[in-house]
Structure 1
Amino acid sequence: MFSFFKRDPIKALRQQYDAKAEQAMLAQRKGDMRLFADLTAEAEELWAQLEKLQAETTK
Structure 2
Amino acid sequence: MFGVFKSDPQKALRKRYDKKLEEAMHAQRRGDIKSYAFLSAEAESIWIKIKKLNRP
Give TM-score, length-normalised by structure 2: 0.97
- CA–CA separation in structure 1 for the residues paired with 2:26 and 2:49: 23
CA distance in 2, matches of 1:31, 1:13: 27
After superposition, the CA RMSD in angstroms is 0.5
1:32 aligned partner: 32
Pair 1:15 & 2:15 matched: yes
* TM-score for both structures, normalised by structure 1: 0.92
Percent sequence identity is 54
Q: Counterparts of 2:26 and 2:4 in 1: how far apart (Å)?
A: 35
Deviation at 1:2, TM superposition (A): 1.0
Gap regions ≥5 residues in structure 1: none
Question: For this pair of structures, how many residues does the alignment match?
Answer: 56
Runs of 4+ in 1 over 3 A off after TM superposition: none
Any gaps of 5 or more consecutive residues in structure 2?
none
